[in-house]
């Protein structure tokens, strides 16, 4: 039966609804003349009809409820997100705090280098700044990451950040002496400085 293989292939194409008109003609023509193929074709069609004809099953009425009851509980993350949505101010405040702390610490780390305020008669030896005997330094003296030795006179405030200062018996400071060593001291120092600057601005504008 040479006809079978090719024709059966066409039957499947037909049943898949993918047969082109030309092949459909060939199939129909063949079926008219070939009882055996016609029988086979009808058996296929009947098979499909009975399979399709099986009754449609319905899920049990409480199916959805059962599924919903066995879902895992909402994750903590969702609860957290909801909390954040409900408390936007606290969320914003804590975010601000985190970012601010970050910038403070990075500034602290950046300023690890030795530096000193610029006054002509200050003498720098390695990381030690000396106010020489008999000299008068005008203005505030700020030393970062280094030592300060005062043998002469400073007309202004003295600030030593992350270092130490030594005031010789002959030395003299007209303003305040301040040492800042730990990061929290440093923060406090910055805050005070900022506050004083703000007050200064107001004082200036008053004048």
Partner 1 sequence: MDALIKKRIKQVIKGDQDAFADIVEIYSNSIYQLGYRMLGNRHEAEDIAQEAFIRAYVNIKSFNQDLKFSTWLFRIATNLCIDRIRKKKPDYYLDAEVSGTDGLTMYSQLSSDTPLPETELESLELQESVQKEILKLPEKYRSVIVLKYIEELSLNEISEILDLPLGTVKTRIHRGREALRQQLRYV
Q: Which residues bind partner 1 (CB under 8 A)?
A: 12, 15-16, 18, 40, 43-44, 46-48, 50-60, 63-64, 66-68, 70-72, 74-75, 78, 81-82
What's the CA gap between 50 and 117, in Å, rounded? 98
Please say whether the beta carbons of 170 and 133 come within 8 A: yes
Nearest distance from C-beta of residue 36 to partner 1, angstroms: 13
Indicate the residue among 70 and 126 with the shorter CB distance to partner 1: 70
Q: Rank residues 46 and 112 by Cβ distance to partner 1 and give the closer one.
A: 46
CB atoms within 10 A of CB 152: 21
**What does DSSP assign to residue 182?**
S
Q: How far is the CB of 73 from partner 1 (least distance, A)?
A: 8
Q: Minimum distance between the CB of residue 145 and partner 1, rounded to whole angstroms?
A: 51
How is residue 112 written in tokens? 């690890």
Residue 6 CB, nearest approach to partner 1 (Å): 14
Q: Taking a C-beta distance cutoff of 8 angstroms, is the pair 154, 141 a contact?
A: yes
* Alpha-carbon Rg for the chain in angstroms: 46
Taking a C-beta distance cutoff of 8 angstroms, is the pair 3, 31 a contact? no
CA atoms of 129 and 150, how far apart (whole Å): 8
Smallest Cα–Cα separation from 194: which of 107, 65, 98?
Answer: 107
Specify the residue, 54 or 126, whose C-beta has the smaller distance to partner 1: 54
Shortest distance in whole angstroms from residue 96 CB to partner 1: 26
Question: How far is it, in rounded angstroms, from Cα 160 to Cα 176?
Answer: 11
Shortest separation between residue 67's beta carbon and partner 1, angstroms: 5
CA–CA separation, 159 and 24 (whole Å): 100
């Amino acid at each position: 039966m040479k006809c079978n293989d090719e024709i059966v292939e066409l039957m499947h194409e037909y049943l898949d609804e993918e047969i082109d008109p030309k092949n459909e003609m060939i199939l129909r023509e063949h079926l008219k003349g070939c009882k055996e193929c016609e029988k086979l074709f009808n058996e296929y069609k009947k098979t499909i009809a009975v399979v399709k004809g099986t009754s449609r099953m319905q899920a049990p009425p409480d199916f959805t409820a059962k599924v919903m009851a066995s879902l895992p509980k909402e994750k903590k993350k969702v609860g957290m997100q909801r909390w954040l949505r409900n408390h936007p101010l606290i969320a914003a405040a804590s975010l601000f705090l985190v970012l601010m702390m970050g910038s403070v610490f990075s500034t602290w780390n950046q300023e690890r280098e030795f530096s000193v305020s610029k006054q002509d008669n200050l003498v720098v030896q390695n990381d030690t700044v000396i106010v020489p005997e008999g000299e008068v330094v005008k203005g505030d003296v700020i030393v970062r990451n280094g030592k300060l030795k005062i043998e002469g006179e400073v007309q202004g405030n003295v600030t030593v950040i992350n270092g130490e200062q030594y005031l010789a018996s002959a030395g003299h400071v007209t303003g305040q002496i301040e040492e800042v060593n730990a990061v929290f001291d440093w923060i406090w120092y910055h805050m005070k400085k900022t506050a004083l600057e703000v007050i200064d601005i107001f004082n200036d504008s008053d004048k």
